[in-house]
């Protein structure tokens, strides 16, 4: 009996001793302050994540454009080509030296499909200059090497064919001004890490000026035949050859160039053509046959007229095309300070006057987004 009472006493004493400790270890729950609750809601509200710090990933949230974003910048071309083919002729243009280019972008706000996918509308405006045209011809040892390589394998034959061609810079030049408007679909959540991949198809406006060399023997014969006649016959023949190429747009091309070309034999229009082409930064060069022909005309033409003849010895391009097909594939990085980087492959692809024209560019761009 006494032992039971003693046991109960020790049990009650232990309860009274442990009760305050348990209260200290687990304080009674109380209602959270309204300010604390508001701060928690603001932090985890997906619509108000701008400039908040993500505690899970440890990165700040990037602000988004509410309406649109202006993105001026500069780009460096890894590859930039212009291919013109059709009417039994072709010309491949590229750049002599890679140089930085400037562009101007306007992008709409993001239209989300879900957290990872969405689309936006991109306006892209820039200029490219192609100052090198390559033309492959058989090397002098092509005949002998082809006979000796008849018993080799297919792969070695392809290697031989590559070695049996030489490439010559023809000195032609084409300037292209273009504007894209492309709806692009993207993958990536800019609120998480800032990286984005996208692609799109849209429309482009193109303006091309310059000259190419199709290595057309018919044009060479026409110029030589015209040069044997009088001045008016020669200049009219030269105008006809240029207009028949289909790359001079009389409706939407440069009106000054078109007027002087159509009336080349009238008054001093040939001299004015030389002065106008020089003012436009035209590269004056000609092929060896035309050079030999024009060398005999030095007494009949002044220096400005000879400059015009050298430029018109190539096929002139003076065209403007609207709403042609264009594409873009790109990868974007998050902002580094106030600058964002983009690696893209883009260009227009269209047909005009019997020619298929394709401009393709692989470029790395740095831009400064200004959000509105």
204 in Cβ contact with 180 (< 8 Å) = yes
The residues that bridge with 107 in the sheet, in sequence order, are: 69, 122
Q: 203-243, pLDDT tens digit by residue?
A: 999 999 998 888 776 666 666 666 666 888 888 888 888 89
Looking at residue 292, its pLDDT comes to 65
DSSP one-letter string for 88-140 = TEEEEEE-SS--EEEEEEEEEPPEESSSSEEEEEEEEEEEEEE-EEEEEEE-T
Q: 267-280, pLDDT tens digit by residue?
A: 999 999 999 988 88
3-state secondary structure of 73: strand
Q: Which residues contact 344 (CB under 8 A, 6 or more apart)?
A: 328, 329, 330, 331, 361, 362, 363, 365
pTM above 0.75, yes or no: no
Query: Which residue has tokens 């440890």?
Result: 58
How far apart, in whole angstroms, are the C-alpha atoms of residue 142 and residue 346? 37
The two structure tokens encoding residue 32:
């959270």
C-alpha 75 chain-centroid distance? 9
DSSP one-letter string for 15-59 = HHHHHHHHHHHSPPP-PPPHHHHHHHHHHH-GGG-TT-B-TTT--
Taking residue 144's Cβ as centre, other Cβ atoms within 10 Å add up to: 10
Q: 116-152, pLDDT tens digit by residue?
A: 899 999 999 999 999 888 766 555 554 444 444 444 4
């Amino acid at each position: 009996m006494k032992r039971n009472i003693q046991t109960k006493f020790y049990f009650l004493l232990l309860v009274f001793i442990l009760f305050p400790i348990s209260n200290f270890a687990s304080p009674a729950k109380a209602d959270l302050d309204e300010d604390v609750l508001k701060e928690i809601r603001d932090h985890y509200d997906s619509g108000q994540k701008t400039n908040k710090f993500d505690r899970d990933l440890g990165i700040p949230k990037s602000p988004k454009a509410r309406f649109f974003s202006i993105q001026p910048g500069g780009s460096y071309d890894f590859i930039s080509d212009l291919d013109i083919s059709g009417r039994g002729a072709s010309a491949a243009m590229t750049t002599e030296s890679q140089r930085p280019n400037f562009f101007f972008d306007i992008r709409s706000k993001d239209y989300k499909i879900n957290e990872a996918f969405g689309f936006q509308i991109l306006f892209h405006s820039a200029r490219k200059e192609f100052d090198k045209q390559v033309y492959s011809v058989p090397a002098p040892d092509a005949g002998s090497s082809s006979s000796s390589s008849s018993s080799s394998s297919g792969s070695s034959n392809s290697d031989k064919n590559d070695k049996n061609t030489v490439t010559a810079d023809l000195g032609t030049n084409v300037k292209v001004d273009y504007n894209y408007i492309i709806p692009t679909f993207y993958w990536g959540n800019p609120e998480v890490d800032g990286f984005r991949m996208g692609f799109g198809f849209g429309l482009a406006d193109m303006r091309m000026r310059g000259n190419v060399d199709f290595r057309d023997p018919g044009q060479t014969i026409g110029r030589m035949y015209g040069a044997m006649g009088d001045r008016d016959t020669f200049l009219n023949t030269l105008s006809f050859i240029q207009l028949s190429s289909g790359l001079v747009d009389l409706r939407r091309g440069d009106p000054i160039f078109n007027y002087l070309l159509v009336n080349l034999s009238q008054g001093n229009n040939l001299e004015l053509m030389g002065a106008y082409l020089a003012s436009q930064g035209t590269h004056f060069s000609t092929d060896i046959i035309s050079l030999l022909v024009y060398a005999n005309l030095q007494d009949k033409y002044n220096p400005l007229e000879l400059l015009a003849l050298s430029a018109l010895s190539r096929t002139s391009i003076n065209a403007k095309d609207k709403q042609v097909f264009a594409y873009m594939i790109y990868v974007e990085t998050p902002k580094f300070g106030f600058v964002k980087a983009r690696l893209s492959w883009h260009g227009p692809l269209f047909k005009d006057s019997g020619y298929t024209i394709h401009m393709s560019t692989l470029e790395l761009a740095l831009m400064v987004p200004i959000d509105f």
